Amino acid sequence: MALLTPNDLININKQLQEADSTVQRVTGLDIKGICKALYGTFPGSEKVGIVPVTSGNGIIGNFSASLNAITQYFGFESFVTDMLDVSGYYEAVRNGAEIILMADDYTFLAHNLKNGKMANNQPCTGIIYAEIASRYLKADSKNVLVVGLGKVGFPGAAHLVQKGFRVYGYDPDENFLQRAVSSLGVIPFNPEKPKKFSIIFEATPCANTIPEPVLSENCVLSTPGIPCAISEELRTKYDVQLVAEPLGIGTVSMLYSVL
């Protein structure tokens, strides 16, 4: 399980602002606009309670504070509980939280206590990054390359298939690749016979997973993957429109999905 580090979250507001302006340039919508288009919802006065959780590897230094900054960036009222774990949950509800955000090492959830809706970060992240990629204003076809077909990549690939894109998929794990081929109709991508794409969605825990032959000039690379899927050298060489951010885009997708 690839866990965030405090280093990933340094200056989260700046990372979010930069990602938001790239999304706007690439799609014509800001991240809130993408969420409204995706879920048909928009925030009211929902109060978000963020509960730090100590299980497993424990608290990630600036994880809760980053979630607080992210929820407020997107216009929600939010607070981080003083107490942790069960006591934190109790404090959140007692202080009027309608949506709970909390994460252990395996599950990062949003739970709306009023309507009962619950969201998991992994599919919500895959879906919003896929949606952003699908809205690329300069796409040259309906072809899209999906690199990584795990807990984030597979839901993203499913979303792109549902939107009518021709999805080429690659994953070194044969089981994950075959699952996408058989259940989604994904076309297995052969790195030995590369083709160029103007839309690429990546979700892997590895760096530099995007081979140069698949890059077309000015293509969009929409990737929640950490570390980054492309080197700065390749990104500038092909003027790749990179949408990458460590926590906020996936989190706001969760929040809009439970409204």
Ligand X SMILES: NC(=O)C1=CN([C@@H]2O[C@H](COP(=O)(O)OP(=O)(O)OC[C@H]3O[C@@H](n4cnc5c(N)ncnc54)[C@H](O)[C@@H]3O)[C@@H](O)[C@H]2O)C=CC1
Give the number of residues in contact with ligand 0TF, rule: CB under 6 A: 17
104 counts as binding ligand 0TF under rule CB under 6 A: yes
Contact indicator for 222, 201 with CB cutoff of 8 Å: yes
The amino acid at residue 129 is: Y
Question: What is d(CA 200, CA 128) in angstroms, rounded to the nearest whole number?
Answer: 14
Examine residue 127 and tell whether it contacts ligand 0TF (CB under 6 A): no
Q: Least separation, in Å, of the C-beta of 167 and ligand 0TF?
A: 23
Determine, following the binding rule CB under 6 A, whether residue 122 of this chain makes contact with ligand X: yes
Residues with Cβ within 8 Å of residue 47, at least 6 apart in sequence: 76, 77, 78, 79, 96, 97, 98, 99
* Interactions with ligand X, residue window 124-183 (CB under 6 A): 125, 147-153, 170-173, 176
Q: With H, G, I as helix, E, B as strand and everything else as coil, classify residue 109.
A: strand
Task: Quote the distance between the C-alpha of residue 86 and its chain's center.
Answer: 27
DSSP for residue 102: E
| Interacting span for ligand 0TF (CB under 6 A) from 27-35, 102-110, 184-192, 209-217 | 102-110
> Of the listed pieces 131-139, 143-151, 209-217, 244-252, which binds ligand 0TF according to CB under 6 A?
244-252
Query: Should residue 68 be labelled a site residue for ligand 0TF when binding is judged by CB under 6 A?
Result: no
Position 39, amino acid: Y
Tokens read off for 197: 């794409």
**Residues of the shown chain interacting with ligand 0TF in the complex, contacts defined by CB under 6 A:** 2-4, 52-53, 59-60, 63-64, 103-105, 108, 121, 246-247, 250
